[in-house]
Amino acid sequence: MIIAIDIGNTDVVVGFYDSKWRHLFRVASNLEMAPAEYEKRLRAFFLEEEVDLEGVSGVILSSVVPDLTTVIQSVFEQLYDGNIVMVDGELLSKLSLGSINPYELGSDLAANAVGAFDLYKQSAIVVDFGTALTFTSVDDQGKVLGVAISPGVKTAMKSLSSNTARLPEIPLEIPKKAIGNNTVESMQSGIMQGYVGLVRHMVAQIELEMGTSPKVIATGGLSFIFEPLHDLFDDVEVNLTLNGLRVILSRLN
């Protein structure tokens, strides 16, 4: 069994893989939480899910939150008696991921690219609905062509609510119509329907620039919310980042 750890701005996700993802642990990315509390929650999860760490053959960690990296790393050093592979610029430079600077490419985006190419063995666009909405383009050799980044849906919603005195935080739901008849419907339309248009435009533009017919894969915790986009996607793979980390680890062995 291998363990893949994805530290994002919203959540820390820990996956346990043995021929398939058998256990998934998720906790909010909280810079105020002490390492002991993370360890306590993980140990409780291990007991509940009957996870046997004695059978772990490798651990790989990706992080886009530097202040949490050392925290989670120290927790797993207490739990696992072995080397923890860190996905950083130095490691990515060895994977021949294309001409993009490996020290600027987010480790999660690199994992998305590797996971997408492993899945389809052809060019692909990965649309990741996370704290940021990202579009990672991969060519027919698995090389990263580049990335587009915009604020994620929750980020946009929170920014609108916090910077306007009379607009509340609202449920992340796609309204049935574009013309809102109250504050909630109006915000849901502008943001949720707006993001549907944003994604469709970006995918069409990226496909035009790539000059190929790439597979379009959605991932991220909010990918399932955007049902009007599901005709655009060849696949919705919530564990794509973890799968990419798993493949990266296998390439190093």
Contact by Cβ (8 Å): 5, 23: no
Helices 107-120 & 240-252 angle (0-180, nearest 10) = 90
Q: Considering only CA atoms, which of 97, 22, 24 is closest in space to residue 251?
A: 97
Count the neighbouring beta carbons within 10 Å of the beta carbon of residue 95. Answer: 18
Report strand pairing: 58-63 vs 84-86. Answer: parallel
Contact by Cβ (8 Å): 139, 100: no
Given 6, 11, 108, 140, which residue is catalytic? 108
What are the tokens at 153? 């849906």
52 in catalytic set: no
CA distance 236 to 49: 26
CA distance 234 to 225: 16
Query: Which residues does the annotation mark as catalytic?
Result: 108
